[in-house]
A and B are shown apart, each in its own frame.
Chain A
Amino acid sequence: MAEKMKDQLVEHVFRHEYGKIVSILLSRFGPSHLEHIEDAVQESLIKAMNLWAFEPPGNPTAWLLRVAGNQLIDTLRRKKKMDITANTELFDRGHASPKEITLEHTINDSQLKTIFACCHPAISKEYQIVLSLKLIGGFGNREIARALLKKEEAVAKSFTRAKKRLKESVKTLDVPVEIGLRSRLAIVLKVIYLMFTEGYTASQGEVPIKRDICLEAIRLALLLTKNAYCNRAEVHALIALMCFHTSRFDARMDEHGDLVDLEHQDRGKYDRELIQVGIGHLEGATVETDPSDYHLQAAVAYYHCAAPNFAQTDWQSILNLYQMQLNQQYSPIVHLNWIVPFHKVHGPKKAFLELMKFEKGPYFKDGALFYALKAELLAELKDYLPARAALQKAIYLTSNQLEKKHLQKKLESYPSTPT
């Protein structure tokens, strides 16, 4: 039975099933029953946990859907919240399990609707992410708390508030069609991107869960591609971007859990398969004009993954991409990051002059990244004393402990007397 279980119950099946069943029940019964739906799905998983160790079912999804659906109908009937004559054929006792092809379609369709519901424009960014992680991703409060370095109670609280907001803003679940889709899709992509960033950000949160959050973001984006209206070039660009970043996950930290910067990453540890998947999506993302921000970022990430080593990175192409990004829509943070490839192409002296322009401007003159860059450029110009001072300031300004430690190590590598 142990072998059998390994075959049928792949990793995270409970988590993924949770998201599937919640979505199906949500689109069938509506967000007003959200709490009952959550309870019913939780109950069905507990039942599964007690039974499946003895004998796993042939079709876990259909099994859970039937158990959770029956439980939900029982609850709603008991509470007289449902018209007994309401259409419940999918869940009626004694019915054969729904046909797998229809089920597959129902899942995709419901999960897609649920994404749009969770990313409703009336809901704040923070809540959109919590809702997506919990209701579609099936993550627990404890896991989200551990990954994002938040208190479990804080996650629970914001989930409760987010649910309230969802119920107020969304009455029935649907995917916007044609008119309105573009702006709604843009929000969904942004939420997926932010979810990915939460997972990818180097913090002391637990690495395996953080990686799962990244993979969940990729899965959601892939789900969008299955819908004809949502299957757009920028979705593929976003998928490519996330694949390229995720491919570097293992190389980004050393065996002590310390950060390794791009220059010193072991490129043999990059996940080649994921890079290939990313390339596939980037090719599928071709547009004639107006590449999206995701296109440009994906292309930058690609050049980093594709370079055999740091020195042989195609900095000129990366610089051009940053320039395009800036030309499309100016953003101070992109501008600051632009200094890095500019430095590699034009040398530290010119880069330093560019960086100093920020000192007079309103942005970042108190940011850690600004001082870290300043230190880097000064060190390359062998101006070690001010470089040390800048780096110390960067260390002081960073709140991320991993980055602090990383910069501290760098500081120790600078000579303390001018050479």
Chain B
Amino acid sequence: MSNFLYLFRGGDARRIEQSPEEMQEHMKKWGAWMGGLKEKGQLVDGLPLAKEGKVVHKSGEVITDGPFAEGAEVVGGYLIVSADTLNEAVEISKGCPIFEHQGNVEVREIMSMDM
């Protein structure tokens, strides 16, 4: 078993047009998806991230408002999920409701230090 990091990007553009009822529906799906992972003991950790952020370049001399030129690049949150292989982790990520809003998930294996 390894741990994998899911980074959620984008999706906000679609959300602006949604009605409150549709938003609640969408949130329910997130809750159900994460709830399912938790039940199977695969959800290790996770939190949403604020939209605003800074990126520090050149030993702190240059600070920009993040690497993202547009909304689609904004990382909205992360999860840490345990799975056997990267492929399995990718398969699990396919159930993520972010795809309904044309967002995407980046899946990265978290390296174990005691190898």
User: Using Cβ atoms and an 8 Å threshold, which residues of chain B touch A30?
Assistant: none
Q: Apart from A15-B19, A49-B23, A138-B21, what 7 extra A-B contacts exist at CB < 8 Å?
A: A2-B31, A5-B28, A15-B24, A46-B16, A50-B76, A53-B27, A140-B19
A1 at the interface (CB under 8 A from B): yes
A109 at the interface (CB under 8 A from B): no
User: Using Cβ atoms and an 8 Å threshold, which residues of chain B touch A139?
Assistant: 19, 21
User: Using Cβ atoms and an 8 Å threshold, which residues of chain A touch B23?
Assistant: 14, 45-46, 48-49
User: Using Cβ atoms and an 8 Å threshold, which residues of chain A touch B26?
Assistant: 49
Interface of A is mostly: helix
Q: Is the CB of B47 within 8 A of A140?
A: no
A271 at the interface (CB under 8 A from B): no
User: Using Cβ atoms and an 8 Å threshold, which residues of chain B touch A174?
Assistant: none
Q: Is the CB of A15 within 8 A of B21?
A: yes
In this complex, which of A3, A5, A9, A48 has the most chain B Cβ atoms within 10 angstroms of its Cβ?
Answer: A5
User: Using Cβ atoms and an 8 Å threshold, which residues of chain A touch B21?
Assistant: 12, 14-15, 138-140, 143
Given contacts A50-B48, A53-B27, contact A140 B34 (CB under 8 A): no
Q: Which of B12, B18, B30 touches A140 (beta carbons < 8 Å)?
A: B18
- Partner-A contacts on B (CB < 8 A): 12, 15-16, 18-24, 26-28, 30-32, 34-36, 38, 46-48, 76-77
Q: Which 10 A-B pairs have the closest CB atoms?
A: A140-B19, A2-B35, A53-B30, A14-B24, A14-B20, A18-B20, A15-B20, A49-B27, A138-B20, A5-B31
Residue of B nearest to A51 (CB): B48
User: Using Cβ atoms and an 8 Å threshold, which residues of chain B touch A303?
Assistant: none
Bound-complex Cα distance A141 to B19 (A): 8
11 intermolecular pairs with C-beta atoms under 8 Å apart: A2-B36, A3-B35, A12-B24, A14-B27, A49-B15, A49-B24, A50-B48, A53-B30, A54-B34, A139-B21, A142-B19
The 8 A CB mask of A242-260 against B (1 = contact, 0 = none) is 0000000000000000000
A414 at the interface (CB under 8 A from B): no
Bound-complex Cα distance A1 to B28 (A): 11
Bound-complex Cα distance A13 to B21 (A): 8
- Whole-angstrom distance between the Cβ of B2 and the nearest chain A Cβ: 23
User: Using Cβ atoms and an 8 Å threshold, which residues of chain B touch A11?
Assistant: 24
Q: Is the CB of B46 within 8 A of A54?
A: yes
State which residues 131-149 of A face B: CB under 8 Å: 138-143
User: Using Cβ atoms and an 8 Å threshold, which residues of chain A touch B30?
Assistant: 49, 53
Q: Is the CB of B20 within 8 A of A17?
A: yes
User: Using Cβ atoms and an 8 Å threshold, which residues of chain A touch B27?
Assistant: 9, 14, 48-49, 52-53
A42 at the interface (CB under 8 A from B): yes
Q: Is the CB of B20 within 8 A of A45?
A: yes
